[in-house]
Amino acid sequence: MKASEALSSNQLLEMYYFARLARDVEERLVILFRQSQVIGGLYRSLGQEGESVATAYALERQDAVLPLIRNMGALMTVGVRPLEIFRQYMAKGTSNSRGRDLNIHIVHLPEPDADEPVIVGPISMLGDSIPVAAGIAMGAGMRGKPRVAMAWIGDGATSTGAFHEGMNFAAVQKIPLVVVAEDNKYAYSTPIAKQMAITRIDERASSYGIPHELVDGNDMLAVYDVAKRMVDNARAGGGAQLIGVDTMRMQGHAQHDDARYVPKAVLDAWAAKDPLERFRKALIEERHTASEQDFADIDRMTKEYAAKEADLAVDEPMPDPSTVARGVYAGDDFAVPRVELVASPFASKGSSA
Amino acid sequence: MKASEALSSNQLLEMYYFARLARDVEERLVILFRQSQVIGGLYRSLGQEGESVATAYALERQDAVLPLIRNMGALMTVGVRPLEIFRQYMAKGTSNSRGRDLNIHIVHLPEPDADEPVIVGPISMLGDSIPVAAGIAMGAGMRGKPRVAMAWIGDGATSTGAFHEGMNFAAVQKIPLVVVAEDNKYAYSTPIAKQMAITRIDERASSYGIPHELVDGNDMLAVYDVAKRMVDNARAGGGAQLIGVDTMRMQGHAQHDDARYVPKAVLDAWAAKDPLERFRKALIEERHTASEQDFADIDRMTKEYAAKEADLAVDEPMPDPSTVARGVYAGDDFAVPRVELVASPFASKGSSA
Amino acid sequence: MAVITYLEAIRQALFDEMGRDERVFVIGEDVGAYGGAFKVTEGLIDKFGEKRVIDTPISEAAIVGSAIGASYMGMRPVCEIQFIDFIACCFDMLTNFAATSRYRNGAAAPIVVRGPSGGGVGGGPFHSLNPESFFLNTPGLKMVEPSTAYDAKGLLKAAIRDDDPVLYFEHKFLYRRIKEDLPKDDYIVPLGCAAVRREGTDLTIVTYGAMLYPCLEAAATLEKERGAKAEIIDLRSLLPLDRETIVASARKTGKVMVVHEDTRTGGIAGEIAATINEEAFDHLDGPVLRVTAPDTPVPYSAPLEDFFLPNAVKIADAARKLVAY
Amino acid sequence: MAVITYLEAIRQALFDEMGRDERVFVIGEDVGAYGGAFKVTEGLIDKFGEKRVIDTPISEAAIVGSAIGASYMGMRPVCEIQFIDFIACCFDMLTNFAATSRYRNGAAAPIVVRGPSGGGVGGGPFHSLNPESFFLNTPGLKMVEPSTAYDAKGLLKAAIRDDDPVLYFEHKFLYRRIKEDLPKDDYIVPLGCAAVRREGTDLTIVTYGAMLYPCLEAAATLEKERGAKAEIIDLRSLLPLDRETIVASARKTGKVMVVHEDTRTGGIAGEIAATINEEAFDHLDGPVLRVTAPDTPVPYSAPLEDFFLPNAVKIADAARKLVAY
Ligand SMILES: Cc1ncc(C[n+]2csc(CCOP(=O)(O)OP(=O)(O)O)c2C)c(N)n1
Ligand SMILES: Cc1ncc(C[n+]2csc(CCOP(=O)(O)OP(=O)(O)O)c2C)c(N)n1
Ligand SMILES: [Mg+2]
Ligand SMILES: [Mg+2]
């Protein structure tokens, strides 16, 4: 039996909720960007919300996530309150980085034995999060609180030396690390053919002896099935695993990029495969576990929620300049707001995340 | 027909000559090391001379070589005069680096259109020579004088980020680069099982879509056959290639290392597979293209040659301290002695190298 | 003559040099059809083709390493680092391979590594770096940072024609804010030569890059206020430093301050203070002061970054102190 | 009390800290059964097992990156870089990830990165590095370099217990040349505190690492020759610098020279000269002088390296000049 078949209808709707919420949060961010409330890069995950959610949904509560800029879905799935994201993008003093760092660069490190997710946002240097993810999973085990670490990485970032060193180290040490390699066809303007001479991104794992599978990234159920299997393998002592995700970046690298280098026909073909739409259809028409109404309710819920959270963030204060030099080193007790984690409306009815 | 079958008996003897010369030069270096004429690390290639020679022998005169510390055989094969090696190891002022850099760290850059080998010794940072080798082959093509670049790399060095970035770049750009990955079972004291989770080192190429083969590194004829095929592929536009070499480091990492961490039984088993001995047997007993006498002559020749060259180097002057600050930047016309290249006694009778 | 921006000047230098010398090529991420993250290489691929404008994987060590190899074959590679912050990912290739190549074996490695540096545009901790002091202690490298469109073009041409590895830092804050009439004909700005941007007798302000402008502003204020004449030296080359020009000015004015956008501890101002001490101590009528960013990563939020960066007010304050000393 | 070497002191610190705190572990190349290239970790694996003494592939970025991750989980990793020169291969991880972690998100990354630095043993250009100025401009990092066995042990213990990333440079020339009686009981040498190794009134010599010894020798010569008393400050911590101790001594003697084995331009002496300028200018009776290696890679051949390195003779010459100033 496929793992996804063991999911309750409530859990399935919860997956949709997270994906939808990710999309709505980003759409709010676009509005704020147009109002110049968000400065700097705004990176959309349009078309990739499904894989981002479905992979993270395979984790347990205490596991670690290392998302990249396009993994809004993963952040929603582990329960990061949207307000935290708006604060970051608007560089508010109330944000986890207190306006010191960009977009989703947030960090949440629970007490060693707490059943809370470890969240380590990226630094801009691509690839660096892979060795760090390996260290998190290794260190958690050393502390006697095993946690599977899941790290997302773009096709382009797999070309970095840090990716190689981290993957090989995790393989040799049999570390419970699950890497989600997202082939979204482009790295900024660079097509995948100029990024690697292999056609299946999951083969990036083959130099390391790491088990790997390729999955249709716009099929949330298929992604969940593979992710669950690999997370279970990793947790059971099977060592590092890699999921290759076949998907498409549906917008430019960031808002400033009109992506004219992407053929229109390609975009149209992928538009027809929108992961949320497909998921909705699958639940209604194939699984008959949900109704149009269920989805309509969620769509309204997430849209309103995203809007409310955005409005809250807008009114929050910018950082106090006089704090700029604080907290470079330990000892000046400069308080850092913890990332607020929230349960989804579906959690009460029993969710896995 | 195998490429090695096209080699003349003279060429076959020449291959043996280079391998034997490499071994004798190193044995001379050991004597000098014991006399403290060589300071710093002395790295033996005992047991690996065969693969080092047989791979380099597949190159053409104008090709580029990027050897590592254990590729004395490759250096002899492209015609580096042993004297140059002794000068380097004894840190003489007459050496190519004028006593500024170690052991085989020599560089020979011919005029753009000259039919001479490009020789670029390593820097100590392992892996760095792979991107540089890719650039040499790429640049030679740009200059209208195509050269295949051959770079040797140890099992341990394949774990570096530089290796990954260079391999992937060469694969995408279809650069005529042939990488010889030497699995000699250890990286310093680290066994290969702690270096990588794959059992065939040639699989290090599979994440890049680079054609790869594994070969018995102690069988010079087999190594030559694979190397020739891959060099030809690279030259014909087949892009980067990787040869995995299965061999054994028969001594410690360097002279100071007694390698007690290597099981005696393993060493004994490999000792029985000494590449020079096997090559000798193959030519005499299987191919009947050479006699005991031929080999006895070469053994004497190389031993005497190595001894003579060592003696010459011993009497050469150390560097003049007053030159220490010269040649950091262009413009102070500080002359650098060119690496002397010599033909083997067999060349006259027509050799390929 | 035509009015062009600092960015356009860099682009022109690339066009000119690639046109002049077929050994020159550009290599980096998104430098081809896209024309680079800041459009500095825009149009190059149309004119020179993809053999000479190479889009690479995200592999800074491969970009620089392959450039070194190509330079050994006589080519003249110009590497683009998409944001100079990522130069940390090829630090080893630059400091160990490129920098020592000539010294070790007389092997020239004439590569140029260029990219957008500096803050003031809300780039945050990983898109605002001033990397100069990472490399100041590495003999064999050269470093330049232009502050004008004229220098941007002339220094890049000089860097490409130079026989040593040159790091070329272009301050992204200046890309489109600085415009200038440039001569149509070919010229270079020699490496290792500073420019005196303002003559003065009462104090010397040593600076470079985007900080030149607040320094000029502060100098004007100072003169208006109290007739104090500040001499302003724009380093242009950071390695080698034009010690003669710096020392001569120090001897003349007896009071020197160094202004850089980079953080304070370990910044290039230290080297300049030490040099002045050694070569002009007897002429000093006051301490060599520093106006720099504080010792923190570069913060993202506007109020923080504004507070973090040196500006005309901070520079004028320090200058008053020094003049009054 | 027991007479032990600088190297043994480092080894003892590792044993003590791993015994004291189960969160402490060692990770690096050949640190396990082999005990490290210099045998600094010898015996650790027998006592603590391979879960806490991890042999890695040749992957400096993975060593440091995984250490950062483990430190996030509350561990206290001690990374060994086989020769400190290879720290260039994890430069990005250190300067961008580890150094900024606390500032960005309040995420402590208490890792220690240690390895053999420095020359004088014929190591050549890639096994003789003094890396301190690569990192001096990176807020968030700490740096120490002991010159005695006592400090070697005490500084490493302090580094391991510190809540920030600390780079610990052990000078390989001192490994077996320096011996000392060490107290049996637990002690630390606090980070950020220099030591006055010799009291003096006529000039101040600021130094650290292996250069302490030629400085002491030169000071003795000077006193014998002309009764001039040199005060010698051993920095011990390079980041943060103990500016108070340096400035206090500068104010007292009025004459300061900085001696470091590292090459001249961009070396740490610049930062010290600038600091003294800013905080003790009025007390200076002479320029802050530098005695350093020249601006070249570290040459391999003995006659070259001997000429390259600072020594007691060069230090005494500079000191005479300064005293006579
Ligand atoms: C080491 C490094 N080099 C360059 C960059 C600049 N950069 C930021 S995002 C990006 C493209 C990333 O592409 P990919 O990894 O495929 O992720 P995607 O944006 O497609 O999700 C680049 C080149 C960087 N962040 N880090
Ligand atoms: C980047 C880097 N890290 C560490 C070292 C130290 N080191 C020198 S040789 C060596 C082992 C190399 O093993 P391998 O690559 O298998 O080559 P082999 O010695 O077996 O021929 C190590 C770790 C180095 N030279 N470069
Ligand atoms: Mg992508
Ligand atoms: Mg090996």
> How do residues C177-235 score in pLDDT, each as one tens digit?
999 999 999 999 999 999 999 999 999 999 999 999 999 999 999 999 999 999 999 99
Tell me what pLDDT residue B349 has.
62
CA–CA distances in Å: residue B75 to residues A66, A217, B18: 46, 50, 9
* Average pLDDT rounded to a whole number, residues A244-267: 97
Given ligand 2 and candidates B44, B46, B126, B249, which is best to mutate, with the most ligand atoms within 8 Å of its CB?
A: B126
Predicted confidence band of residue C2 (pLDDT cuts 50, 70, 90): confident
Predicted confidence band of residue C236 (pLDDT cuts 50, 70, 90): very high
Q: What is the DSSP string of B64-133?
A: EEE--TT-HHHHHHTTB-HHHHHHHHTT-TTSTTTTSS-TT--EE---TT-SS-EEEPPPSSTTTHHHHH
What's the rounded Cα separation, in Å, for the pair B337 and B100? Answer: 13
Please choose, from the candidates A10, A59, A19, the residue with its C-alpha nearest in 3D space to the C-alpha of residue A227.
A59
* Average pLDDT rounded to a whole number, residues A30-44: 94
Predicted confidence band of residue A39 (pLDDT cuts 50, 70, 90): confident
Do the Cβ atoms of C139 and D85 come within 8 Å? no
Do the Cβ atoms of D139 and C296 come within 8 Å? yes
Q: Which chain D residues contact residue A334 at CB under 8 A?
A: 106
D269 touches chain C (CB under 8 A): yes
Angstroms from B324 CA to nearest CA on chain A? 35
Residue B123 CA to ligand 2 center (angstroms) comes to 11
Do the Cβ atoms of D277 and C277 come within 8 Å? yes
The per-residue pLDDT of chain B, averaged, comes to 96
Do the Cβ atoms of A91 and C302 come within 8 Å? yes
Residue A117 CA to ligand 1 center (angstroms) comes to 26
Nearest by CB to B165, which of C62, C75, C101?
C62
**Statement: residue A301 has pLDDT above 80:** yes
What's the 3-state SS for D72-120? HCCCEEEEECCCHHHHHHHHHHHHHHHHHHHHHHCCCCCCEEEEEECCC
C287 touches A302 (CB < 8 A) = no
Given ligand 1 and candidates A126, A159, A182, A190, which is best to mutate, with the most ligand atoms within 8 Å of its CB?
A: A126
A299 touches A69 (CB < 8 A) = no
Sign of the C-alpha dihedral, residues B227, B233, B238, B239? positive
What's the rounded Cα separation, in Å, for the pair B73 and B56? Answer: 8
Tell me what pLDDT residue D2 has.
77
Q: Is the CB of A126 under 6 A from ligand 1?
A: yes
D245 touches D272 (CB < 8 A) = no
Which tokens sit at B290? Answer: 């050479």
What's the rounded Cα separation, in Å, for the pair C288 and C257? Answer: 5
D59 touches chain B (CB under 8 A): yes
A40 touches C126 (CB < 8 A) = no
* Average pLDDT rounded to a whole number, residues D188-204: 98
Tens digits of per-residue pLDDT, C165-178? 999 999 999 999 99
Longest dimension (CA), chain A: 59
Angstroms from C63 CA to nearest CA on chain B? 8
The answer to whether the complex's ipTM is over 0.95 is: yes
Nearest by CB to A197, which of B171, B197, B204?
B171
Q: Enumerate residues 261 to 280 of chain C having a beta carbon within 8 A of any beta carbon in chain B.
A: none
Pairing of strands D203-207, D230-234: parallel
Q: How many CA atoms lie within 13 A of C252 on its CB side?
A: 18
A96 touches A336 (CB < 8 A) = yes
Residue to substitute from A69, A106, A159, interface C, most C β-carbons within 10 A = A159
Residue B248 CA to ligand 4 center (angstroms) comes to 8
Q: Which chain A residues contact residue C34 at CB under 8 A?
A: 188-190, 261
Q: Which class for A10: exposed (0-12), middle (13-18), buried (19 or more C-beta within 10 A)? A: middle
CA–CA distances in Å: residue B124 to residues A114, B52, B102, B108, B329: 45, 19, 9, 18, 21
Residue B152 has phi, psi (to 5 degrees) of -100, 145
Do the Cβ atoms of A189 and C34 come within 8 Å? yes
Angstroms from D85 CA to nearest CA on chain B? 8
Please choose, from the candidates D27, D9, D19, the residue with its C-alpha nearest in 3D space to the C-alpha of residue D65.
D27
* Average pLDDT rounded to a whole number, residues D211-226: 97
Which tokens sit at A71? Answer: 């993994």
**Residues around the ion ligand 4 (C-beta < 5 A):** B 154-155, 184, 187
Nearest CA to ligand 2 atom 9: B188
Q: Which chain B residues contact residue A204 at CB under 8 A?
A: 207
Do the Cβ atoms of D73 and A132 come within 8 Å? no
Given ligand 1 and candidates C55, C82, C91, which is best to mutate, with the most ligand atoms within 8 Å of its CB?
A: C82
Do the Cβ atoms of D96 and A125 come within 8 Å? yes
Q: Is the CB of A82 under 6 A from ligand 1?
A: no
Please choose, from the candidates A92, A95, A54, A48, the residue with its C-alpha nearest in 3D space to the C-alpha of residue A69.
A48
**Residues around the ion ligand 3 (C-beta < 5 A):** A 154-155, 184, 187
Atom of ligand 1 nearest to the CA of C29: 23
**Active-site annotation of A, residues:** 249, 253, 261
Tens digits of per-residue pLDDT, C6-38? 999 999 999 999 999 999 999 999 999 999 999
Estimate to the nearest angstrom the gap between the alpha carbon of C49 and the chain centroid: 29
**Statement: residue A101 has pLDDT above 50:** yes
Q: Enumerate residues 3 to 32 of chain A having a beta carbon within 8 A of any beta carbon in chain B.
A: none
What's the rounded Cα separation, in Å, for the pair B149 and C252? Answer: 57
* Average pLDDT rounded to a whole number, residues D285-297: 98
Do the Cβ atoms of A162 and D105 come within 8 Å? no
| Percentage of chain B modeled with pLDDT above 90 | 96
* Average pLDDT rounded to a whole number, residues D110-121: 98
What's the rounded Cα separation, in Å, for the pair A118 and A134? Answer: 13
Strands (E), B174-263: 177-183, 186-187, 190-191, 212-216, 241-246
Residue A226 CA to ligand 1 center (angstroms) comes to 25
Estimate to the nearest angstrom the gap between the alpha carbon of B340 and the chain centroid: 17
**Secondary structure letter of residue B341 according to DSSP:** B
Q: Which residues line ligand 2 (CB under 6 A)?
A: B 70, 124-126, 154-157, 160, 182, 184, 186-188, 249, 253; D 29, 58, 60, 82, 86, 89
Predicted confidence band of residue A40 (pLDDT cuts 50, 70, 90): confident
- Contact pairs from chain A to chain C, CB under 8 Å: 112
Residue D126 CA to ligand 4 center (angstroms) comes to 20
Which tokens sit at B245? Answer: 């070499």
Tell me what pLDDT residue B353 has.
42
Q: Is the CB of C29 under 6 A from ligand 1?
A: yes
Q: What is the DSSP string of A77-145?
A: HTTB-HHHHHHHHTT-TTSTTTTSS-TT--EE---TT-SS-EEEPPPSSTTTHHHHHHHHHHHHHHTT-
CA–CA distances in Å: residue D53 to residues A140, D29, D56, D172: 16, 10, 10, 22
Predicted confidence band of residue A352 (pLDDT cuts 50, 70, 90): very low
For residue C215, give the 3-state DSSP assignment: helix
* DSSP H helical ranges for B150-284: 161-172, 220-233, 264-271, 275-281
Nearest by CB to D273, which of C96, C277, C284?
C277
Sign of the C-alpha dihedral, residues C69, C71, C74, C77? positive
B253 has catalytic annotation:
yes
- Contact pairs from chain B to chain D, CB under 8 Å: 112
* Lowest-pLDDT choice from A186-200, B337-351, D213-227: B337-351
Nearest CA to ligand 1 atom 17: A154
What's the rounded Cα separation, in Å, for the pair A287 and C4? Answer: 63
For the sheet with B241-246, list strands across it.
Answer: B107-108, B118-120, B64-66, B149-154, B177-183, B241-246, B212-216
Q: Is the CB of A67 under 6 A from ligand 1?
A: no
**Statement: residue D282 has pLDDT above 50:** yes
Tens digits of per-residue pLDDT, D133-170? 999 999 999 999 999 999 999 999 999 999 999 999 99
D127 has catalytic annotation:
yes
Q: Which chain D residues contact residue B320 at CB under 8 A?
A: 303
Tell me what pLDDT residue A353 has.
42
Residues 6 or more apart from A4 whose CB is under 8 A from it? A12, A221, A222, A224, A225, A228
Do the Cβ atoms of D104 and A139 come within 8 Å? no
Tell me what pLDDT residue B146 has.
98
Tell me what pLDDT residue C111 has.
99
pTM value is 0.98
D297 touches C141 (CB < 8 A) = no
Which tokens sit at A57? Answer: 């949904």
Angstroms from B204 CA to nearest CA on chain C? 17
User: Hey, what amino acid is at B213?
Assistant: E
Angle, to 10 degrees, between the axis of helix A161-172 and the axis of helix B161-172?
Answer: 120
Q: Is the CB of A339 under 6 A from ligand 1?
A: no
Residues 6 or more apart from A328 whose CB is under 8 A from it? C295, C296, C297, D102, D103, D139, D140
Tens digits of per-residue pLDDT, A216-238? 999 999 999 999 999 999 999 99
Do the Cβ atoms of D266 and C136 come within 8 Å? yes
Do the Cβ atoms of C102 and B137 come within 8 Å? no
Tens digits of per-residue pLDDT, B154-200? 999 999 999 999 999 999 999 999 999 999 999 999 999 999 999 99
Angstroms from D57 CA to nearest CA on chain B? 5
* Average pLDDT rounded to a whole number, residues B91-114: 97
What's the rounded Cα separation, in Å, for the pair C105 and C93? Answer: 16
